[in-house]
């Protein structure tokens, strides 16, 4: 499905303004937000908590940024803890390790992943990174290469991979915006791994988007976490035995 605010051949100014208003993203502000994430206590805290259900059949390793690290949320209310509850409700035995760090980029995730793979020996790796690359306006090729390298490393370690895609607002320019949205699918296709096309579907692309985010207009609020899980779960479920 192609959203109206991404159709640059027939731009929907109202939709674009709605998106930009939600995020308040501009390059200077993006840099400020990244710096804030990296320099707050919550921004450097990695949640590496693992909870075992009944007779674990494997480990699900989540390597992400603030969207997965419960930034600004009460602990236990983010989409990853909700995933643990989902697994229990469907009687799927698995151990969930959340190794997400607020402010992390694909370069950071790439450097951290080998040690995480060796430590946790996951059966499934969920890669939720790239948003901070876009906030910094980093080269698309670099982001794609990092995601591909992480995917290859996880597969080499015997894990299945789920790549979680993100998008950026139109004020980044059509070339960057469209290229960033496409690169997740391109990496997933090249590496033959599962893909969630847009992590914030039903949250950032709706008329009342502002009500679904925290005051910073960057991080989804507690009420949006269930939708984030709903976006991930259908693809993740296919990878879990």
Q: Are 24 and 36 in contact (CB under 8 A)?
A: no
C-alpha torsion angle, residues 208, 40, 154, 195 (rounded to 10): 10
The single residue of 65, 66, 102, 133 carrying the catalytic annotation is 66
66 is catalytic: yes
Q: Are 200 and 220 in contact (CB under 8 A)?
A: yes
Q: Are 106 and 129 in contact (CB under 8 A)?
A: yes
216 is catalytic: yes
Q: Are 205 and 19 in contact (CB under 8 A)?
A: yes
Hunting for tokens 């982001």 — which residue is that? 143
219 is catalytic: yes
The single residue of 100, 133, 219, 224 carrying the catalytic annotation is 219
The torsion region of residue 202 among left (phi > 0), alpha (psi -120 to 50) and beta comes to left
Euclidean distance between CA atoms 64 and 81, whole angstroms: 14
Q: Are 149 and 187 in contact (CB under 8 A)?
A: no
Closest-CA residue to 78 (of 207, 199, 235, 184):
199
Residues acting as catalytic residues: 66, 216, 219
């Amino acid at each position: 499905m192609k959203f109206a605010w991404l159709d640059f051949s027939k731009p929907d100014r109202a939709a674009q303004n709605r998106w930009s208003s939600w995020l308040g993203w501009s390059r200077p502000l993006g840099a400020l937000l990244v710096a804030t994430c990296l320099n707050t206590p919550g921004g450097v805290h990695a949640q590496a908590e693992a909870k075992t259900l009944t007779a674990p059949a494997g480990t699900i390793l989540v390597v992400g940024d603030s969207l997965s690290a419960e930034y600004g949320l009460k602990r236990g209310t983010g989409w990853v803890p909700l995933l643990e509850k989902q697994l229990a409700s469907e009687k799927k035995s698995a151990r969930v390790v959340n190794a997400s760090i607020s402010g992390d980029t694909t370069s950071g995730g790439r450097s951290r992943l080998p040690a995480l793979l060796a430590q946790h020996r996951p059966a499934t790796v969920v890669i939720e990174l790239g948003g901070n690359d876009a906030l910094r306006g980093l080269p698309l090729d670099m982001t794609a290469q990092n995601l591909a390298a992480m995917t290859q490393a996880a597969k080499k370690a015997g894990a299945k991979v789920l790549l979680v895609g993100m998008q950026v607002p139109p004020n980044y320019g059509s070339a960057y915006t469209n290229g960033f949205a496409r690169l997740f699918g391109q990496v997933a296709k090249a590496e033959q791994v599962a893909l969630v096309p847009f992590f914030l579907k039903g949250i950032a692309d709706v008329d009342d988007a502002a009500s679904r985010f925290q005051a910073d207009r960057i991080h989804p609020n507690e009420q949006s976490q269930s939708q984030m899980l709903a976006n991930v779960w259908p693809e993740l479920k296919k990878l879990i035995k």
